[in-house]
Structure formats: C-alpha cells, structure tokens
Amino acid sequence: MKVLVAGGAGYIGSHVVFELIRDGHEVVVYDNLSTGRRSAVPEGVRFIEGDIRDLDATTRALAQGTSSGSFDVALHFAAKLVVPESVSNPLAYYHNNVEGLRTMLEAMVKTNVRTIVFSSTAAVYGEPDKSHNGECLEGDLTVPINPYGETKLAAEKMIQWVAQAHDMNYCILRYFNVAGADASLRIGLDKDQLTHLIPLIMQTALGLREKLQIYGNDYDTIDGTCVRDYIHVSDLARAHILGAKYILDNDRSVLCNLGSGQGFSVKQVVDAALKMFEFAYEYAPRRDGDPAKLIANNQRAQELLGWQPQLSLEQMLSSDFAYRQKISTSSHGEPA
C-alpha cells in the first residue's frame, strides 16, 4: 500500500509507521511536530512538516503521493488526546480534532484519496451501558462525558457523512488505553507532559517522581478504582494495517473497537507493576471526566480484520519502563 500518515511522528502514528515499513509498504509522514518528534520517523521515510489545519499544505502533501504513485490510503493520527486537558481547554480540542479533520477530508476529496483510517477512542461511549458491566460494543449509545470524546464523536460522524457524499471508505478504530513501546525501543511515548497511568507509574519507579497518585477509590468497581482496557501499542499498530487492507480489498467501510477485551483496575495495574518495580503511591481525589469502567468488546475487530491482540499487560509495563529508562539516560528523543 502507498500510505500518508498524518501525525506519523507521534506516539501511535510512529508505531504504525514502523509496522507499515516492516510489512513492506510505502510511507510518507506528515506531521506538524507539535507533540511528535522528527527522530521518531525512521531513516529513509519521507517526512513533510505540515499541519492538517493548513488546507494548501495538506492538499500538496496528499497530491504528491509516493515516488511510485498516488496514495491508496491516508491514516489520521494528528489529534489531541488528553482527557483532563480537554476539560480545561475544549476550544483547542475542537480546533485540532474537528477543524483539523475537516480540512484533511477536504484535501482528500480534492486529491481523490478516497480511503481513510481514523483514530477514534473509547471516550465516545461516555459511561457504558450499565447492563453490559463496563463492556462497550460498537452499536452502543455514544454519550461522551468529556470534550475529548465529544470531538472524536463529531469527527466520526463527519467522516461518515463525507464518505457517503464523496464515495469514500473509512476504517474508524476506537482505541481503549494504549500503552507500551516498540520492541526495538527506538520509539515510545515521549512527551514533556505525561498524564497517562502507565508512563507515570514508570517515571515513579525510575525515581523521576516521588509518588504515584491514584485518582479516586470510591468508584463502583471491584476495588473502587477506575477500570480500563489496556492494549499494547504494537498490537494496536498492526490493526491499522489489517484495517486499511480490509477496506481496500472489500471496498467497504468499518468501525471497530480496539482493546484487549480485558479490564484492569488502576489498583490492579499498580499491583502488577509493584511485582516488577518499587515505587510509592497514594490515593487522591477523583479526576474530572473519568468514567468508572471502560472495556472493549473486540469481537468485530477479530472477526472482520482477523486481528488478535498478542501482548500482555506485563509486556506493556516492561516495554514502557525500558523505553522511559532509555530516554531518561540518552539525549531527549534521539534514537540510540
């Protein structure tokens, strides 16, 4: 496949780029480097610095194609994704996640690139249907409880309407809690302001933070802490290739959850990490915008895409630790 990866220098985008290259595809990375790193783009992969909100630049990038022809598919990762930040700064989320996508779709229509793989999120579900005990199915009601989920839901709907009007196909992937790093440790989650649970545990284990705070222990869950479905970033990355092939081969669209199908409470993740590393933690008040429980039903991805998650929670913890250890001892963001 010939693939443009918008946001390909960021955490998930760069892992998808690595898997695409390993699988023999032709890749161009398009990224504004607002949170991504130039060093996350593998050598030999063409890199275009640009912003998806810039219609002319995005149209030019899409029109150029690869050295051997037009793009078959565009992958979209260029979004903001931190729940508490979206609560305090919703306008930035609408600008980036909704306006950015709108511009990119306009550029795709102009350049006749008719296939998109889009990163969505479990945050579109809000508080899952009580009768499913925290499990989310793709057909469930979508009632986001934070601006991040709201902007991603608006984006999903925009894609569906635009696809209908302009004869496009889409693969919308609703991610659950993504963690871990590529086995090569050349890439991982490398951001100045970390907010996600597993990287914060590892920073604490490395002595870069004094204590981990567990936000809330009065939720209606097994031990009072929030339950999430953690999925290894390399498993997630492989699903994008399967998703792109599926829509190209079948000339149809698809929307799937991407999660392991298994829930762990924050306390269970902390306990699993404590078996591997030493660190201190304490309970703190609830964080704004957190639903109690989110677990993927991943049957659709398994059946339609032939996708099967392979890597465990322990592999997410150990690879994130190893990556964080590496970047804390080498110069920032540079591959070793």
Q: Is 294 in the site for ligand UFG (CB under 6 A)?
A: yes
Complex with ligand UFG: residue 42 or 243, whichever CB lies closer: 243
Q: Is 228 in the site for ligand UFG (CB under 6 A)?
A: yes
Which of 137, 135, 180, 194 minimizes the C-alpha distance to 309? 180
What are the start-end ranges of the E strands in the chain? 2-6, 26-31, 46-49, 73-76, 115-121, 135-136, 169-175, 177-179, 212-215, 227-228, 230-232, 254-258, 264-265, 281-284, 295-296
Binding mask 274-293 for ligand UFG (x = CB under 6 A): -------------x--x---
Q: Is 93 in the site for ligand UFG (CB under 6 A)?
A: no
Question: Please, what's the largest Cα pairwise distance for the chain?
Answer: 57
Give the β-pairing of 115-121 and 73-76.
Answer: parallel
Q: Is 273 in the site for ligand UFG (CB under 6 A)?
A: no
Size of residue set near ligand UFG by CB under 6 A = 21
- Specify which residues 135 forms β-bridges with: 295
Active site includes 148? yes
Binding mask 159-188 for ligand UFG (x = CB under 6 A): -----------------xx-----------
Complex with ligand UFG: residue 22 or 211, whichever CB lies closer: 211
* Residue selected from 3, 266, 305, 327 as contacting ligand UFG according to rule CB under 6 A: 266
Contact 79, 7 (CB under 8 A): yes
| Coil vs helix vs strand at 15 | helix
Contact 279, 201 (CB under 8 A): yes
**Piece of the chain touching ligand UFG by CB under 6 A; list 48-56, 136-144, 196-204, 243-251:** 196-204
Active site residues: 148
- Residues of this chain that interact with ligand UFG (CB under 6 A) are 81, 83, 121-123, 176-177, 195-197, 200, 212-215, 226, 228, 266, 287, 290, 294
